[in-house]
Amino acid sequence: VAKRYSTQYEWSPVLLRSVNEVRYRTLRMKQFKGVVVDNNILEQLREEAKLPLQQSIGITSRQDVVDCLREAKHNMYQNQRNHVELRRKYLEDLAEAILLDRRPWLTEDGREQQLQEKKEQQIKELIKREEVRKMHRTIGFLLKPDRGRGLLQVDIPDRKAIPPPGETFGDPNDPKTWRGSWESIT
């Protein structure tokens, strides 16, 4: 199975499992249609989707496969709509795991308040790293050669514009107050 990545949705283990389940169900559907599918790939996708073996083997009719595929697609679309919340939940769980790995004594009785404070601090650090990562990805996208050479045009107040009698367009040196026409400089 090729590694495919989408930058449209934020990564989370739940979303990854639902995508792998759709891939698994799609290949099972192809199998029922008579297309040769490698069993190793099917098994790998089943494991990555964390589907129980008994449930997967128990599906023997084409209608069951179609129903499971529809349900898997519905779940995947639902997870894609909630990708930001899923990512945030993943980061919270990750923060707690990192914290407990570094400071296992925080699980002792009487240290719940300290655990909560450290967990919130760890979450803030992870979220900050995420924001920096997004910013660098955006900058990298904008600096690609096919994206142009920086600014393509700049709009400035048109100083030659004549306002109607008795009115004013404002100060052309202050773009926030300018209400007249604009001139594009390329």
Cα(128)–Cα(133) distance, integer angstroms? 9
Which amino acid would we find at residue 45?
L
- DSSP helix/strand/coil, 160: coil
Stretch 88-96: mean pLDDT: 87
pTM higher than the cut 0.75: no
- DSSP helix/strand/coil, 157: strand
Q: Does the pLDDT of residue 40 top 80, yes or no?
A: yes
What would the pLDDT profile of 157-178 be if each residue is shown by its tens digit? 888 888 888 888 888 888 888 8
Cα(92)–Cα(126) distance, integer angstroms? 9
Cα(55)–Cα(49) distance, integer angstroms? 12
Top-confidence residue, 139 or 41: 41
Q: Could you tell me the pLDDT band of residue 6, with boundaries at 50, 70 and 90?
A: low
Residue 154 φ/ψ, nearest 5 degrees: -130, 130
Q: Does the pLDDT of residue 2 top 60, yes or no?
A: no
Cα(36)–Cα(33) distance, integer angstroms? 9
